[in-house]
Amino acid sequence: MNNKKNNSSATQITRAYIILLTTLMIIVSFATIFVVGLHLVHNKRDDAEQLTTVLKTSFSDYKPDWDYWRDTASINPHNTFVRVTVVPDSGKVRHFYSHRTRKFLRDDFENRPLLKNIQIQTDQGIFYHVKTSERWKHSRVTYEIWLSLNNVVELFKLIIVVVISVMAFGLLIGISAISVLARKLNAPLERLTTATQKINDADTSTHHETLPVPAGPQEVTDLSIEFNRLLTSLNNQVLRDHQFVSDASHELRTPLAAIRGHINLIRRHGNTHPEIVQPSLSTIDTESIRMQHLIDSLLQLSRMDHAELEKQRVLLNDIVQRVADNYHEQLNRELVVNAPHPVHAMVHAESITQMLVALIDNANKYAPGDTPITINLFADSHAVIEVADLGPGISDGAKAHIFDRFYRADTSRSHKIDGSGLGLAIVARLADLNGGAVHVRDNQPQGSVFSLILPIIK
Ligand code: ADP
């Protein structure tokens, strides 16, 4: 739970904000200190140069004119110190000090070079030190000036304090604002999680559950809409599967009941009435064949859920002709083939044969025996194979369902004809696996036309 909290987007956003703000503040304070410091040190250097110039002008008779110098150079004896050293070519070295300089240099004097020209003087602070020398009347004169940088250091301290205060204030305000915002943004996600948990933890499922769709933020709204679509699609799949299993059991129950009935009949009366054995056995045989067909179809449908067909270039005229030749005899009726032009398609040849046989088989089952069946093969934007009959046709209401598993049109004729309601479902699935489709429409003047639409190769 703790780990979850540490990983929550609110924590992550807050952490990112703290890192960002701290980095920004550090960069800003370093940049400010650098720029201000550079500027101030430059100023000090200019001051020192000005002082040196004035000092040189005021230097006469081997001794600096401190009064003139102090007046013209506006020197502050508390933070500016000057030493002039005169080394004659022959004779004694002489030192001249400005007011308080002797004491400044003597006072626990420890000269620690820090940067070039920057020195730290214990008890007195940081100084900018400039040293120049020149030849003057048989002597070498060295001018040394120390300018206090203590006010600069104070300014730096102030900048750091201000930056830290701003940062602390920014963090305080920012963190509370961000955690409020993050919580607000997270609330719909948390509600979504709770709703999902509720569905997961429920003992039973109606398969109609949906998640709440929050009004915002947009991403979460989109996410819950997409989740709901997924949920609906999965639920529909589950409901379809339930329906399929229950329909399959129902369909299997009928032949099973017939088989069991006849077995009981033989058991009870077979000895006393041997004449019933043969008809009962033939019924058992027919019903078991029906069951066998049903199970084969169910297996095929279930395998096709995960199947992928290997497609290749096929001349559909060959398939149509071969099927017509093979089935012509069995049909006992006229089978007309119209395939005037060669049509090539990218399909799985065996499955095309299977679909065609199923459609011809249906036409043969449902259309009266003296009517012809017609197969048309032609090309438009797709390759099209039509199987047309002059049978009873299919009502508009039934057209919407005939490709559903186990659907059988509720007509008196359909009831008399043996079937499982799986044939057209298999055709539709095979058409889909071939990248095509199957449609039905009314034939003229009567009957139905089933069209297989397949991917053409031109
Ligand atoms: P089955 O033929 O085993 O019942 P199908 O899936 O092949 O199952 O067909 C579903 C239903 O569609 C059939 O029960 C029948 O009512 C209707 N049907 C299919 N083909 C035709 C056809 N050529 N003419 C009239 N009705 C048809």
- Residue whose CA lies nearest to ligand 1 atom number 3: 419
Distance 420 CA to ligand 1 centre (A): 9
The reported pLDDT for the residue numbered 113 is 59
Instruction: Supply the residue whose CA is at minimum distance from atom 11 of ligand 1.
Output: 408
Q: Report the separation in Å between the CA atom of 399 and the middle of ligand 1, taken as the mean of its atom positions.
A: 10
Nearest protein CA to atom 8 of ligand 1, as residue: 421
Residue 88 has what pLDDT?
87
Instruction: Supply the residue whose CA is at minimum distance from atom 19 of ligand 1.
Output: 362
**In three state form, how does the secondary structure of the chain look?**
CHHHHHHCHHHHHHHHHHHHHHHHHHHHHHHHHHHHHHHHHHHHHHHHHHHHHHHHHHEECCEECHHHHHHHHCCCCCCEEEEEEEEECCCCCEEEECCCHHHHHHCCCCCEEEECCEEEECCCEEEEEEEEEEECCCEEEEEEEEEECHHHHHHHHHHHHHHHHHHHHHHHHHHHHHHHHHHHHHHHHHHHHHHHHHHHHCCCCCCCCCCCCCCCCHHHHHHHHHHHHHHHHHHHHHHHHHHHHHHHHHHHHHHHHHHHHHHHHHHHHCCCCHHHHHHHHHHHHHHHHHHHHHHHHHHHHHHHCCCCCCCEEEEHHHHHHHHHHHHHHHHCCCEEEECCCCCEEEECHHHHHHHHHHHHHHHHHHCCCCCCEEEEEEECCCEEEEEECCCCCCCHHHHCCCCCCCCCCCCHHHHHCCCCCCHHHHHHHHHHHCCCEEEEEECCCCCEEEEEEECEEC
Measured on CA atoms in the order 115, 121, 123, 124, is the torsion positive or negative? negative
CA of 387 to the centre of ligand 1 (A): 13
Tokens at 229, concatenated: 């679509």
Q: Which atom of ligand 1 is nearest to the CA of 403?
A: 6
Q: Which atom of ligand 1 is nearest to the CA of 411?
A: 16
Distance 422 CA to ligand 1 centre (A): 9
pLDDT in tens, the chain (458 residues): 455 556 777 778 878 888 888 888 788 878 887 888 788 778 878 888 887 787 777 766 556 666 666 666 566 767 888 888 888 888 888 888 887 888 888 765 555 555 677 777 777 788 888 888 888 778 888 888 888 888 888 888 888 888 888 888 888 888 888 888 888 888 888 888 898 898 888 888 778 888 888 887 888 899 889 989 998 998 888 888 888 888 888 888 888 999 999 999 999 998 999 999 999 999 999 999 988 988 888 888 888 877 788 999 999 999 999 999 988 888 889 999 999 999 999 999 999 999 999 999 999 999 998 899 999 999 999 999 999 999 999 999 999 999 998 888 776 566 678 788 889 999 999 999 999 999 999 999 999 999 999 999 98
Whose C-alpha lies nearest to ligand 1, atom 21?
362
Alpha carbon nearest to ligand 1 atom 14, residue: 408
Smallest CA separation from ligand 1 atom 7, residue: 423
Residue 341 C-alpha to ligand 1 middle, in angstroms? 30
pLDDT score at 1: 44
To test ligand 1's pocket by mutation, which of 405, 408, 422 has the most ligand atoms within 8 angstroms of CB? 408
Q: Which tokens hold the place of 354?
A: 């299977």
- Pick the atom of ligand 1 nearest to 408's CA: 14
The reported pLDDT for the residue numbered 360 is: 96
Ligand 1: residue of 247, 251, 402, 441 to mutate (most ligand atoms within 8 A of CB) is 402
pLDDT on residue 364:
94
What number does the ligand 1 atom closest to the CA of 419 have?
A: 3
CA of 417 to the centre of ligand 1 (A): 9
Q: Which atom of ligand 1 is nearest to the CA of 420?
A: 3
Distance, CA 397 to ligand 1 centroid (Å)? 13
Q: Name the closest-CA residue to atom 2, ligand 1.
A: 419
Instruction: Give, in order, the Cα–Cα distances in Å from 11 to each of 21, 275, 411.
Output: 15, 87, 67
User: Atom of ligand 1 at shortest distance to CA of 425?
Assistant: 6
- What is the pTM assigned to this prediction? 0.58
How many A from CA of 423 to the centre of ligand 1?
A: 8
CA 260 / ligand 1 centre spacing (Å): 28
Cβ < 6 A, ligand 1 pocket: 362-363, 366, 389, 391-392, 394, 402, 407-409, 414, 419-425, 448
Ligand 1 atom at minimum distance from 426 CA: 6
**What residue owns the CA closest to ligand 1's atom 20?**
362
